[in-house]
Structure 1
Amino acid sequence: MIKKLHKCLCCFLAVLLLSGCWDVINIEERGFVIGAAIDLADKANTGENTQLTLTNQFAVPPGLGTPGQEGSGDGKAYLNLSASGESIYAIAQEMANQTSKLPFFEHLKVVIISEEVASRPQLFADVMDVFIRNRDTRRGIKVLIAKGKAKDILNIQPENEKLPARYIDKILQNSLTITGEMKPVRIGDIHEYLLTKNSFILSEVTADHKKIKLEGGAVYKGDSGRLTGRLEREEMLGVDLITGEKVQGPIVVNYKNQLTTYLIEEANSKVKIIAKDPENIDIAVTIELEGEIEETFGTGKFEDPVVIQNAEKEIAAKVRNISNETIQKVQREFEADIFGFGNHLKKFHPDTWEKINKDWEHGENYFAKSHVNVTVKAKVRTDGVVNKSGK
Structure 2
Amino acid sequence: MRNKGIRIVAIASLLSFGLTGCWDRVEINKRGFVVGVALDQTRQQESQEKDTIPGTNMRGTFQFVVPAGLKTSSGGTGQGAAAGRGYFNLGVVESSMAALTAMLAARTSRSPYYEHLKLIIISKDIARDDSKFSDVLDFFLRGKEMRRDMHVLIAENEASDVLNVKPLNENYPISYIESTITNVGNTNYMLHASRLGDIHECLLRKNSFTIQNVRMTQGAIMLTGAALFDGNEHRMLGELNGENTQGLNFLTDQVKGGIVETAYKDKSIAFEIIRASRKIKLVNNDNGKLKFAVTINTEGTFVKSAKDVDLNDPAVFNTMEKRFETEIVRVANITLKTLQQTYKKDAMGLGMYLFENHYRTWKKVEPDWEQGRQLFAEAEIEVSAHVKIRRIGDIDESERG
TM-score (norm 2): 0.87
Q: How many angstroms apart in 2 are the aligned matches of 1:300 and 1:387?
A: 9
Q: Structure 1 residue 18: deviation in Å?
A: 8.7
Q: Structure 1 residue 66: deviation in Å?
A: 5.5
Q: How many angstroms apart in 2 are the aligned matches of 1:271 and 1:368?
A: 17
Which one of 257, 261, 264 corresponds to residue 255 of structure 1? 264
Which one of 226, 249, 265 corresponds to residue 235 of structure 2? 226
Q: Structure 1 residue 16: deviation in Å?
A: 9.2
Q: Structure 1 residue 283: deviation in Å?
A: 1.1
Change (3 A) 1:333 1:76: same
Name the structure 1 match of 2:373: 364
Q: Structure 1 residue 60: deviation in Å?
A: 1.6
SS in 2 for 1:254: strand
Which one of 83, 96, 99 corresponds to residue 87 of structure 1? 96
Change (3 A) 1:70 1:127: farther
Change (3 A) 1:337 1:122: farther
Name the structure 2 match of 1:4: none
Name the structure 1 match of 2:37: 36
- 1:208 lines up with 2:226 in the alignment: no
Name the structure 2 match of 1:99: 108
Q: How many angstroms apart in 1 are the aligned matches of 2:278 and 2:187?
A: 18
Q: Which amino acid aligns with 1:347?
A: E
Mapping of residues 6-45 of structure 1, within 5 Å = 21-43=22-44
Name the structure 2 match of 1:3: none
Change (3 A) 1:209 1:252: closer
- 1:120 lines up with 2:121 in the alignment: no
Name the structure 2 match of 1:59: 65
Q: Structure 1 residue 210: deviation in Å?
A: 4.1
SS in 2 for 1:283: strand
Identity, in percent, stands at 35
- 1:376 lines up with 2:359 in the alignment: no
Q: Structure 1 residue 178: deviation in Å?
A: 4.4
Name the structure 1 match of 2:345: 336
Q: Structure 1 residue 41: deviation in Å?
A: 1.4
Which sections of structure 2, spanning at least 5 residues, go unmatched?
1-7
Q: How many angstroms apart in 2 are the aligned matches of 1:104 and 1:230?
A: 33
Q: How many angstroms apart in 1 are the aligned matches of 2:115 and 2:214?
A: 24
Q: Which amino acid aligns with 2:64?
A: F
Q: Structure 1 residue 72: deviation in Å?
A: 5.9
SS in 2 for 1:31: strand
**Greater shift after overlay, 332-341 or 381-390?**
381-390
Name the structure 1 match of 2:244: 235
Q: 1:28-65 deviations in whole A, cap 9, x for unaligned? A: 21110010011111245957993111110011222211
RMSD in angstroms over aligned alpha carbons?
A: 2.7
- 1:137 lines up with 2:138 in the alignment: no
SS in 1 for 2:100: helix
Q: Structure 1 residue 194: deviation in Å?
A: 1.2
Q: How many angstroms apart in 2 are the aligned matches of 1:316 and 1:387?
A: 21
Change (3 A) 1:72 1:263: farther
**Greater shift after overlay, 125-134 or 17-26?**
17-26
Q: Structure 1 residue 15: deviation in Å?
A: 8.9
Aligned length: 378
Q: Structure 1 residue 242: deviation in Å?
A: 0.9
TM-score (norm 1): 0.90
Q: How many angstroms apart in 1 are the aligned matches of 2:384 and 2:340?
A: 18
Q: How many angstroms apart in 2 are the aligned matches of 1:297 and 1:71?
A: 51
Q: Which amino acid aligns with 1:273?
A: L
Maintained 8 Å contact 1:219/1:227: yes
